[in-house]
Chains A and B, each alone.
Chain A
Amino acid sequence: MAEPRRSENGDVGHVHLTRDEIAARVAELGAEIGREYGGLDPILVAPLKSSVVFLADLTRALRIPHTLDVVELAPYTDGQSGGVRLLKDVDAPLEGRHVLLVEDVVDTGLTLNFLCRTLALRAPASIAAVTLLDRPYRRLVDELPLRFVGFTVPDELFAGYGLGLDEGWRALPDLHVVSSVALPRAATEAA
């Protein structure tokens, strides 16, 4: 049965990028990365979960020897104390390796900045990042090693191709725009 296209947090809208457009760009990214990382045996590290579809396609588009790993960050849940933490760390030692972080979307840059800071402590030879989507309008951290960008997208929410909203719609093969939900009135009132 098809997944409902409407939820309390938004509706799936029109297709912004078709599966063919994404596939073509991922192939280009694979070629670009292959040229720059040839002979370096890079390790691709992706944060779960939204990046897994992109990672799966990118690794097959990358025609140089490389390895894969994944990390999982604890989700932000109402600013719990203690800060962000890794639920799953990389399995491989990173010392001396060329690390390429594989992101689905870079928005504020906070997540990528955290990953870079965290993995830099493992003394890799280099850290850079590739993102499928760049949404730079709210960037808070400017000095990111974002070396490869699939698409710079408009200031919209997206679902499909691994991106989900409340765990829905990740399996949609195309990338869809998701309608926004307005802020509740209580959020904007002074107490």
Chain B
Amino acid sequence: MQVRDESPVFQAYCGNTPPRFANRIEVECAKILDYYGVPWDYEPQSFVLERDAEGRVVSAFTPDFYLPEQNLFIEVTVMKQSLVTRKNRKLREVHRLYPHVRVKLFYRRDIERLAQRYRLRLAS
């Protein structure tokens, strides 16, 4: 299900279609990037991690953000640390299969730090 945000006007967004964020945390991360004028895109690329015998995609990883100037993908997860094992495994697979791709995972703790730093209004 997608977030019904108050339709912020993004100025540093590089995508072609309006981003459809999955949760409020992603919206706030986008706002911070936008505020600092860092060009960003939302889910522009999926990385295939596994295919079946017929070549169908069995597993893939789609990072939330891409910063073209930094050539950096960012995945934001709000799961508790104890529940991110699967996501960590996927990230390791990305590093193994696509060693040239730079991905950073922002955990719940990282978002909490950002929320305090920027006093994000997350509860509305």
Specify which chain A residues have a CB less than 8 angstroms from the CB of B48 in the assembled complex.
none
Q: How far is the CB of B46 from chain A (nearest CB, A)?
A: 20
**Majority SS of interface residues in chain B?**
mixed
B17 within 8 A of A: no
Residues A79 and B35 in contact in the complex (CB < 8 Å), given A180-B116, A191-B2, A191-B24: yes
Give A108 to B116 CA distance when docked, in angstroms. 13
Size bin of chain A's contact surface = 35 or more
Residues A138 and B32 in contact in the complex (CB < 8 Å), given A187-B122, A191-B3: no
Q: Please list the residues of chain B having a beta carbon within 8 angstroms of any beta carbon in chain A.
A: 1-4, 8-9, 11-12, 22-25, 28, 30-38, 67, 70, 72, 74, 78, 104, 106, 108-124
**Contact pick for B34, options A75, A83, A142, A180, CB 8 Å:** A83
Q: How far is the CB of B9 from chain A (nearest CB, A)?
A: 5
Give A141 to B78 CA distance when docked, in angstroms. 22
**Does B34 contact A79, Cβ atoms closer than 8 Å?**
yes
Q: List 7 A-B contacts (CB under 8 A).
A: A9-B116, A114-B36, A166-B119, A181-B116, A183-B122, A189-B24, A191-B3
**Does A191 contact B35, Cβ atoms closer than 8 Å?**
no
User: Which A93-143 residues have a C-beta within 8 angstroms of B?
Assistant: 107-108, 110-111, 113-114, 117, 137-138, 140-142
Specify which chain A residues have a CB less than 8 angstroms from the CB of B67 in the assembled complex.
140
Q: How far is the CB of B95 from chain A (nearest CB, A)?
A: 17
Residues A80 and B123 in contact in the complex (CB < 8 Å), given A181-B112, A188-B78, A191-B4: no
Residues A189 and B23 in contact in the complex (CB < 8 Å), given A83-B37, A140-B38: yes
